[in-house]
Amino acid sequence: MSNRRKKANSDPRSVSDHETLLAVPDDEERHEKSDLRGDWGNIAILFFLYLLQGIPIGLASAIPMLLQNRGASYKQQAEFSFAHWPFSLKLLWAPIVDSLFWRRFGRRKSWLIPTQYLIGIFMLILSLHVDRWLGAETNGGGTASDLDRALHIPLLTGIFFMLNFLAATQDIAVDGWALTMLKRCNVGHASTCNSVGQTAGYFLGYVAFMALESAEFCNSYLRSVPADEGLVNLSGYLWFWGFVFLATTTLVALFKREAAPSLERGHEEHLELDIKQTYRLLVDIIRMKPILLLVAILLTAKAGFAACDAVTSLKLIDAGVPKDKLALLVVPLVPLQIILPLAISKYTAGARPMEVYLKAIPYRIVLTIVAAGIVWITPAIVRDHHVPYYYYLLLLTNYGLYQIALYSMFVAVMAFFARISDPAVGGTYMTLLNTLSNLGGNWPTTVVLWLVDYLTWRRCSTDEGNDCADSTQKSECTEAGGSCGIIVDGYYIEIFVCLLYG
């Protein structure tokens, strides 16, 4: 491994050096037009790497749906939500990824290749046990305490945390590589590769899996002879993608050479810092007043949408909407999700990409209110898991509009990050900003999931003195022939509080 650096006359940790990282581009750079000649292949590779990154993210997003159908509580959902936290913590090891590398192999490939190999191996091993840990051997009956024993929540959380840890490390390497793989005038397209690639990978890891795992979907659309199970299960899907990771990573390792930054491609000469200098640089960046303001914004901007983003789909499943049908609502929107970032990039490639971000916020707030209203009326519409077509149309319309607002904000903020990042510490700089953005979404998600049960008031239908506060009281109510009905739903309390903040 190498962490050698070039000599410089000035201290690389001086304040003046850091201030240049956020310097406003001069007029020539600001008006430099994108020139994709010679970069189409690099864009395709970046898209593919971000697609691979989206696979484990999508699979981890499918787990809460499976848990909800197995009787998991919202507290257990909150516990599993920690599996997504590596993307909010990767800043802790980003300087190591940015500074330690094998020069002959490539600065980013030194981490990208072994990390993706580990993801593939990890998926193959996980495929051997995940069905048992999900409680697949139970029949869905039993008391709440039985379900607690059947669902290995801490184990599942730890395993998917490690899988996402590897994916987050891959993200650090790809984010940094994008800054030098593309010409300087084309770095704005890195955000497009990120959003489109992750969307495609997320679709394959989440939507495609949920559809192929559903016996109802496969019997209706893919089979001539009905069967009791879907075409795939989680273990088989993990096995398949494990081999895909191993094979494709080998191709990238053998055939894609990592070139150093060059003046011919518009890259500037930069210092290469060791680990200690990179951490010091990171601290100095965070201390800058513009960054401190950006930190405050990124850590709190998503709190107003947390209840809608984290709880709404689980509430719909509780109300009787089939999980596979809910996931399949994404399918008609896939063209929109792929084309939308491309269309938005036209407006975010300029000098003020955050204008798009700010304009999208009011629309997203209104659509959050509409989503809560849909959850409210769902029990009156869905009977015995029969969902009328007009209800799906209502969900699809609201979800589609919500995605437009969400992707407008995502692409805008990614373009902003790419524009202000310094290629010399590109992995660390991009990771700092992405980490803050991810953390600003993850901590509210965990909090709102954790509080749903505590804010919800229940009462047993056969015993008014039983408020169904814990698994024992719920079991007593069920054994007495009653059911725990909701008096006040904590979901709506959270929606109200989040909207007040937003």
β-strand partners of 457: 488
As a whole number, mean pLDDT of residues 69-98 equals 87
Q: Is residue 51 part of a domain?
A: yes
pLDDT level of residue 81 (50, 70, 90 thresholds):
very high
Cβ-Cβ contacts under 8 Å for 269 (sequence gap 6 or more): 261, 263
Asked whether residue 20 is assigned to any structural domain, the reply reads: no
Tell me how far apart the alpha carbons of residues 112 and 11 are, in angstroms, rounded to a whole number. 30
| 159, part of any domain | yes
The model's pLDDT over 208-239, given as tens digits with 9 standing for 90+, comes to 898 888 888 888 888 888 888 889 999 999 99
Q: What is the pLDDT of residues 251-283, one digit of tens each?
A: 988 887 776 655 455 555 555 667 888 788 778
Which residues are CB-contacts of 6 (< 8 A; sequence separation ≥ 6)? 271, 272
Name which of 394, 364, 400, 401 is nearest 378 in CA terms.
394
**Which tokens belong to 239?**
């096995």
> Looking at residues 465-486, what average pLDDT do you find?
78
User: Is there a domain that residue 400 lies in?
Assistant: yes
Looking at the domain assignment, is residue 474 inside a domain?
no
Residue range of the domain that includes 305:
38-261+273-455
Judge whether 267 and 261 are in contact, CB under 8 Å.
yes
pLDDT at 325: 84
Return d(Cα 472, Cα 343) in angstroms, integer.
54
- What's the 3-state SS for 247-278? HHHHHHHHHCCCCCCCHHHCCCCCCCCCHHHH
pLDDT score of 448 more than 90: yes
**Mean residue pLDDT across the chain:** 80
Does residue 138 lie in a domain region?
yes
CA–CA distance, 308 with 448 (Å, rounded to integer):
10
Task: Select from 172, 146, 166, 205 the least CA-distant residue to 83.
Answer: 166
Residue type, 481: G
Does the pLDDT at position 140 exceed 50? no
pLDDT tens-place string over residues 194-210? 878 888 898 899 888 98
**Alpha carbon of 348 to those of 200, 254, 302, 417: distances in Å?**
21, 35, 20, 11
Per-residue pLDDT band for 444 (boundaries 50, 70, 90) equals very high
Task: Give yes or no for residue 146 having a pLDDT over 80.
Answer: no
Instruction: Tell which wins on pLDDT, 423 or 491.
Output: 491
In a domain, 414, yes or no: yes
Q: What is the pLDDT of residue 200?
A: 86
Relative to beta strand 457-460, strand 484-488 is antiparallel
How far is it, in rounded angstroms, from Cα 29 to Cα 33? 9
In a domain, 342, yes or no: yes
Report pLDDT digits (tens) over 321-367.
Answer: 888 888 888 778 777 777 877 788 777 776 677 888 888 899 999 99
Q: pLDDT of 358-410, one tens digit each?
A: 888 999 999 999 999 999 999 999 887 788 889 999 999 999 999 889 888 88
Joined tokens for residue 401: 């509009």
- pLDDT of 445 > 90? The answer is yes
The pLDDT of residue 431: 67
Task: Please state, in angstroms and as integers, the Cα–Cα distance from residue 39 to each residue in 29, 185, 187, 259, 494, following that order.
Answer: 19, 11, 10, 13, 46
Query: Which residue is listed with tokens 């930069």?
Result: 270
Helix (H, G, I), strand (E, B) or coil at 480: coil
- Higher local confidence (pLDDT), 146 or 445: 445
- Return the number of other C-beta atoms located less than 10 Å from residue 439's C-beta: 20
Q: What's the pTM?
A: 0.77
For the chain, how many structural domains are there in total?
Answer: 1
Q: What is the pLDDT of residue 144?
A: 47
Q: What is the CATH number of the domain that holds 88?
A: 1.20.1250.20
